[in-house]
Amino acid sequence: MLDNIPSIKELNFVGRESELEKVKEELANHDMVIICGTLGIGKTSLAEKYAYDLKEKGQWVRWIEAESTKIVDEYAQWAKDLEFGTGGKTIEEVRDSIYRYLCGQRELVYLILNNVDSCLGPPVQYPHYYNR
Ligand SMILES: Nc1ncnc2c1ncn2[C@@H]1O[C@H](COP(=O)(O)OP(=O)(O)O)[C@@H](O)[C@H]1O
Ligand SMILES: [Mg+2]
């Protein structure tokens, strides 16, 4: 399973059309977009809305809660969904095996790392690193 966005979910999302368009524009020209701003400004909601819009268009989207306390379990779960063995592997090895697998796939997977700024540990590595 490449993604983890349910196909139907009620969102109480309103507005932000220009921000959604901006993310789309940036992604047309770059591999990565960073949404930053003060707590509560609507970053997660914007990403969530974008994710559901992509999903509606038939794209693959994987949402990862990237706080230090969660990211390890998030990658482990993704590996499990892909039926990859994780026994004896560090989380970095698990992550790398997922990213390498993705780089070899024809499908594009949109990866959303929520709260990545608060992740202090080594698990964060941006996937385009593997595409060089
Ligand atoms: N476009 C929006 N429409 C409706 N509610 C929103 C919107 N953006 C944010 N909210 C609400 O505001 C609160 C904070 O948004 P959130 O996305 O969690 O902010 P951040 O991730 O920047 O801390 C949440 O309760 C969220 O549901
Ligand atoms: Mg948030």
Q: Model confidence over 35-83: pLDDT tens digits?
A: 999 999 999 999 999 999 999 899 999 999 988 888 889 999 999 999 9
Closest ligand, as measured to the CA of 10: 1
User: Ligand 1 — pocket residues by CB below 6 A?
Assistant: 12-16, 39-45
Q: Which atom of ligand 1 lies at the shortest distance from residue 15's CA?
A: 1
Q: Does residue 109 contact residue 102 with C-beta atoms inside 8 Å?
A: yes
- Residue of the CA atom closest to atom 9 of ligand 1: 42
Which residue, chain included where needed, has tokens 């004896």?
A: 88
- The yes-or-no verdict on residue 130 having pLDDT over 60 is no
How far apart are the C-alpha atoms of 104 and 3, rounded to whole Å?
16
- Residue of the CA atom closest to atom 14 of ligand 1: 40
- Ligand 1 center to 2 CA (angstroms): 26
Tell me the whole-structure pTM to 2 decimals.
0.88
User: What is the structure's pLDDT at 86?
Assistant: 85
Q: Does residue 123 contact residue 69 with C-beta atoms inside 8 Å?
A: no
- Residue of the CA atom closest to atom 13 of ligand 1: 40
User: What is the structure's pLDDT at 124?
Assistant: 58
- Ligand 2 center to 106 CA (angstroms): 30
Closest ligand, as measured to the CA of 115: 2
Residue 123: pLDDT band with limits 50, 70, 90: low
Out of 45, 49, 63, 116, mutate this one to test ligand 1's pocket (max ligand atoms within 8 Å of CB): namely: 45
C-alpha triplet 82, 87, 91: angle, nearest 5°: 75
User: What is the structure's pLDDT at 70?
Assistant: 87
Domain boundaries, the chain: 17-131
> Using one digit for the tens of pLDDT, what is the confidence trace for 81-106?
999 988 899 888 998 999 899 888 88
